DNA sequence: CCCTTCAGAGACCGGTAGTC
DNA sequence: GACTACCGGTCTCTGAAGGG
């Protein structure tokens, strides 16, 4: 029994022909790039609220009238790689960045920006916070870009405070606009699900109530529409696999469970060896304390004992803190302060996001990955 | 051979939320 | 207000990779 008529509708990069909720934003971006001499936009707001897709949609509509460069800073996030990407996209030919200094790269960018051309240049930096928080000042790439020529810029970030910081440094002499996009409401999420269901699923396989249920639940747990879409995709696949013709509440519950465990299962294998050990240590401490782990000295001590006997040894406490920060960035753990149960001072506690440490430990036990066997015992 | 970028990791230090 | 435990920023070093 198939209920999915178009799989691509659930693809993470799928862009529908009409945006159900953010059409106003798309129009505004389109108009401003078209009619303004130079447009610089800072776009902020929670993850999965339609920032990126709105910008992409606007670029789509501008199509041949501009040269657009889209840089996702979680993938392309060094001075060199960003310069290369921009130079290649604008000039439309390969650029050899190897061995070039930052100065040389900025000179090439300057030359490129000053070249007369008919089409406007639009450069989009998505997830720009990832670039700002990196050390070695890779964000200095913005200076040659902003200070020469008159390219248009859109900076997208989940963290609005990052945008304020950039606003002050980069756009001080440009007129720029800052916009915070609000999180999707349950009804917004419903509208988006409705569109995907109409395009991707057989009409008889779902009902309005199905979608309202998923929308409400998703809005409660995250407000990130990608979560809702993942849920809809998962429940459709489950329904198909069970040879059923209609999505039921049972299958939705099942899908919720799967989606929640899958995050950590997907990310964990990709982590560097030390980070894996840190995740395991934190999880073990969480189980021990009933839900949270004291990062130092407890979890660090556990990590140290694990790593001590392994070929690569253990890192210092300072490095451990940077690992914790990475885990926070990855959305695996969140951190809070508590007063120190042992007396003066305070401690930081880690709580897992969207996964059950005991189940995770069970799964991982004796199977932590390539070079680090034997850790679970 | 010397230059660059870049990531990873340690040393150091000032700041700060908490207790006494 | 002194004291404590801990965090985050920053500096430095190292080593890899890639040129000229």
The CATH number given to whatever domain includes residue A308 is: 1.10.10.10
The C-alpha R_g of chain A, in whole angstroms, comes to: 24
Of the three residues A151, A180, A209, the one that is the final residue of a domain is A180
- Spatial distance from the CA of A106 to the C1' of C20 (Å): 19
- Spatial distance from the CA of A340 to the C1' of B15 (Å): 18
For A243-287, write each residue's pLDDT tens digit.
999 999 999 999 988 887 667 787 787 777 888 888 888 888 888
The CATH number given to whatever domain includes residue A234 is: 1.10.8.60
Q: Which domain holds residue A336?
A: 271-364
- Spatial distance from the CA of A288 to the C1' of C5 (Å): 22
Domain contains A320: yes
Rounded to an integer, the average pLDDT of A97-101 is 75
Higher pLDDT, A89 or A97: A89
- Spatial distance from the CA of A319 to the C1' of C11 (Å): 15
Of the three residues A234, A266, A298, the one that is the final residue of a domain is A266
For A51-81, write each residue's pLDDT tens digit.
999 999 999 999 888 999 998 887 787 888 8
Domain contains A42: yes
pLDDT of the residue at A209: 93
pLDDT at A217 over 80: yes
Q: Looking at the structure, tell me whether residues A127 and A188 fall in a common domain.
A: no
SS3 content of chain A, % helix, strand, coil (to 5): 55, 10, 30
Q: Looking at the structure, tell me whether residues A176 and A313 fall in a common domain.
A: no
Local structure of A169: helix, strand or coil: helix
Higher pLDDT, A315 or A195: A195
Strand locations in A255-332, DSSP E?
Answer: 293-294
Q: Looking at the structure, tell me whether residues A27 and A171 fall in a common domain.
A: yes
Q: Which nucleotide is nearest to A346 (CA to C1')?
A: B18
Higher pLDDT, A144 or A164: A144
Say yes or no: Cβ of A30 under 7 A from any atom of strand C. Answer: no
For A287-303, write each residue's pLDDT tens digit.
888 888 888 888 888 88
Say yes or no: Cβ of A17 under 7 A from any atom of strand B. Answer: no
Protein-proximal nucleotides of chain C (any atom < 7 Å from a CB): 3-11, 18-20
pLDDT of the residue at A370: 40
pLDDT of the residue at A58: 94
Domain contains A231: yes
Q: Looking at the structure, tell me whether residues A257 and A312 fall in a common domain.
A: no
Domain contains A189: yes
DSSP code of residue A150: T
Say yes or no: Cβ of A98 under 7 A from any atom of strand B. Answer: no
A 61-90, residues with C-beta < 7 Å of strand B: 77-81
Q: Looking at the structure, tell me whether residues A55 and A151 fall in a common domain.
A: yes
Q: Looking at the structure, tell me whether residues A155 and A230 fall in a common domain.
A: no
pLDDT of the residue at A169: 65
A 315-354, residues with C-beta < 7 Å of strand C: 317-318, 321, 324-325, 335, 340, 342-348
Higher pLDDT, A156 or A171: A156
Higher pLDDT, A316 or A6: A6
For A300-329, write each residue's pLDDT tens digit.
888 888 887 777 778 888 888 888 887 877
Rounded to an integer, the average pLDDT of A147-174 is 77
Closest residue, by C-alpha, to the C1' of C20: A99
pLDDT of the residue at A172: 64
Of the three residues A210, A244, A266, the one that is the final residue of a domain is A266
Say yes or no: Cβ of A345 under 7 A from any atom of strand B. Answer: yes
Q: Looking at the structure, tell me whether residues A245 and A314 fall in a common domain.
A: no
Q: Looking at the structure, tell me whether residues A341 and A324 fall in a common domain.
A: yes
Higher pLDDT, A96 or A118: A118
Q: Looking at the structure, tell me whether residues A218 and A297 fall in a common domain.
A: no
Distances (CA, A) of A62 to A68, A231, A279, A311: 9, 32, 45, 55
Taking alpha carbons only, the member of A178, A162, A183 closest to residue A42 is: A178
Q: How many domains does chain A have?
A: 3
pLDDT at A233 over 60: yes
Rounded to an integer, the average pLDDT of A30-38 is 93
Q: Looking at the structure, tell me whether residues A205 and A282 fall in a common domain.
A: no
Q: Looking at the structure, tell me whether residues A174 and A196 fall in a common domain.
A: no
Rounded to an integer, the average pLDDT of A21-42 is 93
Closest residue, by C-alpha, to the C1' of C10: A135
The CATH number given to whatever domain includes residue A109 is: 3.40.50.300
Domain contains A372: no
> pLDDT grade, residue A9 (50/70/90)?
very high
- Spatial distance from the CA of A70 to the C1' of B9 (Å): 33
Taking alpha carbons only, the member of A320, A221, A220, A223 closest to residue A275 is: A320
Higher pLDDT, A355 or A204: A204
- Spatial distance from the CA of A322 to the C1' of C8 (Å): 9
Domain contains A39: yes
Domain contains A375: no
- Spatial distance from the CA of A171 to the C1' of C20 (Å): 37
pLDDT at A167 over 80: no
Say yes or no: Cβ of A315 under 7 A from any atom of strand B. Answer: yes
Domain contains A260: yes
Contact yes or no for A201/A3 (Cβ under 8 A): yes
pLDDT at A332 over 80: yes
User: What mean pLDDT is reported for chain A?
Assistant: 84
Q: Which nucleotide is nearest to A319 (CA to C1')?
A: B9
A 87-116, residues with C-beta < 7 Å of strand C: 96, 98-99
H/E element, A156: strand A152-157
The pTM of the full predicted model, rounded to 2 decimals, is 0.76
Q: Looking at the structure, tell me whether residues A45 and A88 fall in a common domain.
A: yes
pLDDT at A373 over 50: no
């Amino acid at each position: 029994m198939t209920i999915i008529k178009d799989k691509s509708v659930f693809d993470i990069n799928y862009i529908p022909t009409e945006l159900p909720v953010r059409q106003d934003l798309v129009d505004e971006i389109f108009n401003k790039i078209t009619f303004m001499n130079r447009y610089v936009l800072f776009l902020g707001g929670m993850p999965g609220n339609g920032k990126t897709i709105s910008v992409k949609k606007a670029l789509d509509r501008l199509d041949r009238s501009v040269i657009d460069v889209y840089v996702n800073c979680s993938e392309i996030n060094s001075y060199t790689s960003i310069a290369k990407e921009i130079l290649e996209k604008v000039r439309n030919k390969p650029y050899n960045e190897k061995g070039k200094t930052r100065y040389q790269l900025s000179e090439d960018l300057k030359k490129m920006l000053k070249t007369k051309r008919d089409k406007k240049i639009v450069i989009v930096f998505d997830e720009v916070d990832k670039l700002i928080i990196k050390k070695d000042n890779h964000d200095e790439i913005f200076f040659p870009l902003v200070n020469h020529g008159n390219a248009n810029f859109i900076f997208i970030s989940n963290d609005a405070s990052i945008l304020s910081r950039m606003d002050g440094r980069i756009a001080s002499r440009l007129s720029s606009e800052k916009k915070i996009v609000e999180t999707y409401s349950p009804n917004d999420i419903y509208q988006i699900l409705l569109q995907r269901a109409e395009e991707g699923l057989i009409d008889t396989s779902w009902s309005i109530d199905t979608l309202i249920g998923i929308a409400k639940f998703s809005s409660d747990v995250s407000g990130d529409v990608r979560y809702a879409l993942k849920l809809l995709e998962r429940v459709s696949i489950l329904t198909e696999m069970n040879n059923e013709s209609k999505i039921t509440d049972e299958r939705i519950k099942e899908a919720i469970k799967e989606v929640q465990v899958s995050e950590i299962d997907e990310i964990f294998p990709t982590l560097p060896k030390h980070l894996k050990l840190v995740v395991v240590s934190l999880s073990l401490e969480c189980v021990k304390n009933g839900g949270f782990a004291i990062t130092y000295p407890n979890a660090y001590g556990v990590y140290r004992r694990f790593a001590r006997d392994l070929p690569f040894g253990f890192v210092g406490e300072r490095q451990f803190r940077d690992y914790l920060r990475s885990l926070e960035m990855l959305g695996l753990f969140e951190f809070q302060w508590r007063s120190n149960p042992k007396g003066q001072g305070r401690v930081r506690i880690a709580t897992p996001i969207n996964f059950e440490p005991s189940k995770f430990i069970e799964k991982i036990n004796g199977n932590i990955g390539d070079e680090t066997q034997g850790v679970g015992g």
